A and B are shown apart, each in its own frame.
Chain A
Amino acid sequence: MSQQLSFDDLERDFEERAARARAMGGAEKLARRRASGSLNARERIAHLADPGSFTEFGLFAQSAREPDRSRSPADGKIAGLVRIDSRPAAVVSNDFTVMGASSSTTNSRKIGHIKDLAVRRGLPLVFLGESTGARMPDVMGARGIAAGERPTQYRRMRETPWVSAVLGHCYGSSSWYAALSDFVIMRKGAAMAVSSVKLTSMAISEAMEPEDLGGWRMHTDVTGMADLAVDSDEEALDAVRRFLSYLPSHHKEAPPRGPVGASFEPDGDRIRKLLPLERTKVYDMRKVVDCIVDRDSMFELKARYAKNVVTALARIGGHVVGVIANNPLHKGGAIDVDACEKSTSFMVLCDSFNIPLLFMVDQPGFLIGIEGERRGAIGRVMNWMNAISLVTVPKFSLIIRKTYGQAVLNMGGGGNADVVLMWPSAEINFMDPRHAVTIVHGVKREEDPQRFDELFAEMAKDTSAYEMASAYNGHLVIMPEQTRGTLRELLESTGLRMTGGIGEHLMRTWPTSY
């Protein structure tokens, strides 16, 4: 007579299988990771998520190749649902201790399923990246790489926020999802590239270090693909939480309202001390932004890339805003190709997730020159204009000091913002009057100072905030200390009241990198 199985037997078997799957790549590999200061894939989820909130999908997934089944617990990628600050989200955490977290048939099915669930059901998606790329030999040959049933695998329509943390070597899927994400944090020492150093070195017969190919400096300073670089896994995961705290869970929801900042009294005095009225002097615009927004609410994205423009999420009176601010400390605030890309990309993010935009303006125009033209400056300027025209979230433009040229429009003037505010320090013109005198009249100051000064007076007139207000090209002239209160009122009274705070998302399919 055969022995009848009991539920106790089934439970024992279930727990054994689960324990084997949760053991990841084994004790020795996990110990090595711990010694190196890295969290493992499951520890990363535990740090990110509210305690006990992880519901795992695919614990028992394995490689489709029979010889690899027993050595591929969860098939190297751990996925499921979590709560982050009590809000549901989806997570994919690469387990580098299992076959380098390489991509395979089974785990691609797993990620595809989680992604599909997230975008159709309104869940933010978090990728914890560290992977070697496609698994070999599985992917080799015509039946390998060319197999696939998911034409939308890399389609991004910004239904929900996507965040990537680059926490180790990221080649293949970890890089692709970072490129598609709204916010990317890199751990220093991690690397992100199309292919591994080994393969790249062989292909181009040149030795290199991972840091040179795709380290944090490359991606925060040069490519702008990483928004932030941090020193540890824990800091990266904390940054994921912080970024998500400014965003709605999905694009049919308004951003979460925070408490009004601890101190909401006017900071006009601080601004007066920070802001030089002499045209030749520069200052750090971030300090002025800090005076306007709720205390400690400023969260800067891409701080090391195109420093001449600041892009930051913040709150004013508890309302989330996206700030785009020229920074005169760098390049005098002049706008170059990288600044155009940074600003455009940030507008797409904010507009896609119902975050009003605040432009803070102090710029001498576009940075012109051969290098910019070689990089397609004309196209970048127009991308920005196209984007700002497609924005349907509220746009406010605050002119602080000078604003010149076509960039007047890019920064919200000329009808490109819903409300234009000016401080009395504002100066608005087509061109720096000094250059205009020489270009129009051919007179240089060193050659004929008296005539130059007469012509300069002519070119420099009618540029004040009051002239702009006189023609109703600007809507309010306010003192700096009135700014916080005025913006709070505008956010509350002129937000997307008729649609519950939801915009039209006309840029939801804008490219994720360009």
Chain B
Amino acid sequence: MAKMKVHSEVTGSVWKLLKKPGDRVAAGDEIMLIESMKMEIPVLAEEDATVAELHVAETDAVQEGQVVATLDAG
């Protein structure tokens, strides 16, 4: 199964994890919320997939471009 890396678009901190490994996501679903610029900015699934792994925990600092999750495509 093809692996898809999901990146944070912003530098900030993990506000809330909304999915866990094993959860199905549809394209456009929110996987987690990153707090940045005093806003809750979602990390979105680009395609239908299953969450394979989350690489961050709530309150972790994240950098723009950092891989925060891996999904199994399909």
**A282 touches which of B11, B39, B64 (Cβ 8 Å):** B39
Say yes or no: A434 contacts B38, CB within 8 Å: yes
Say yes or no: A432 contacts B38, CB within 8 Å: yes
Say yes or no: A279 contacts B37, CB within 8 Å: no
**A330 touches which of B9, B11, B37, B38 (Cβ 8 Å):** B9
B48 within 8 A of A: no
Q: Determine the residue in chain A with the shortest Cβ distance to B12.
A: A332
User: DSSP majority for the A interface?
Assistant: loop
Distance between Cα atoms of A280 and B42 in the complex (Å): 12
B40 within 8 A of A: yes
Say yes or no: B39 contacts A280, CB within 8 Å: yes
A328 within 8 A of B: yes
Distance between Cα atoms of A434 and B35 in the complex (Å): 15
Distance between Cα atoms of A281 and B38 in the complex (Å): 9
Distance between Cα atoms of A334 and B41 in the complex (Å): 11
Distance between Cα atoms of A368 and B10 in the complex (Å): 11
* A281-B42 contact, Cβ under 8 Å, with A331-B9, A331-B10: no
Say yes or no: A328 contacts B38, CB within 8 Å: no
A25 within 8 A of B: no
Say yes or no: B38 contacts A279, CB within 8 Å: yes
Give every chain A residue within 8 A of B41 (Cβ-Cβ): 282, 329-332
**Contact string, B36-70, partner A, CB cutoff 8 A, digits 1/0?**
11111110100000000000000000001000000
Say yes or no: A364 contacts B37, CB within 8 Å: yes
Give every chain A residue within 8 A of B42 (Cβ-Cβ): 282, 329
Say yes or no: A332 contacts B39, CB within 8 Å: yes
Q: How many residues of B contact A (CB 8 A)?
A: 12
Q: How many residues of A contact B (CB 8 A)?
A: 18
Give every chain A residue within 8 A of B37 (Cβ-Cβ): 332, 334, 364, 432
Which B residues from 3 to 48 make CB contacts under 8 A with A?
9-11, 36-42, 44
Say yes or no: A281 contacts B39, CB within 8 Å: yes
Give every chain A residue within 8 A of B44 (Cβ-Cβ): 329
Distance between Cα atoms of A334 and B12 in the complex (Å): 13
A369 within 8 A of B: yes
Say yes or no: A371 contacts B40, CB within 8 Å: no
Of listed B9, B10, B11, B39, residue having the most chain A CB within 10 A: B39
- Interchain nearest-CB distance for A426 vs B (Å): 17
Q: Determine the residue in chain A with the shortest Cβ distance to B41.
A: A332
Which A residues from 355 to 380 make CB contacts under 8 A with B?
364, 367, 369, 371
Distance between Cα atoms of A95 and B39 in the complex (Å): 52
Say yes or no: B11 contacts A328, CB within 8 Å: no
Distance between Cα atoms of A330 and B44 in the complex (Å): 9
**B40 touches which of A280, A334, A432, A434 (Cβ 8 Å):** A280
Give every chain B residue within 8 A of A369 (Cβ-Cβ): 11, 64
Q: Determine the residue in chain A with the shortest Cβ distance to B36.
A: A332
- Interchain nearest-CB distance for B46 vs A (Å): 9
Say yes or no: B64 contacts A371, CB within 8 Å: yes
Distance between Cα atoms of A371 and B42 in the complex (Å): 22
**Contact string, A323-336, partner B, CB cutoff 8 A, digits 1/0?**
00000111110100
- Interchain nearest-CB distance for A357 vs B (Å): 26
Say yes or no: B39 contacts A279, CB within 8 Å: yes
Say yes or no: B38 contacts A280, CB within 8 Å: yes
- Interchain nearest-CB distance for A217 vs B (Å): 10
Distance between Cα atoms of A73 and B39 in the complex (Å): 61
Q: Determine the residue in chain B with the shortest Cβ distance to A328.
A: B39
Give every chain B residue within 8 A of A281 (Cβ-Cβ): 39-40
Distance between Cα atoms of A367 and B41 in the complex (Å): 14
Give every chain B residue within 8 A of A331 (Cβ-Cβ): 9-10, 36, 41
Distance between Cα atoms of A281 and B40 in the complex (Å): 6
Identify the B interface with A (CB < 8 A).
9-11, 36-42, 44, 64
Given A282-B41, A329-B44: 18 more A-B contacts, CB < 8 Å: A279-B39, A280-B38, A281-B40, A282-B39, A282-B42, A330-B41, A332-B10, A332-B36, A332-B39, A332-B41, A334-B10, A334-B37, A364-B37, A364-B39, A369-B11, A369-B64, A371-B64, A432-B37
What are the nearest 3 A-B pairs in CB distance? A332-B39, A332-B37, A364-B37
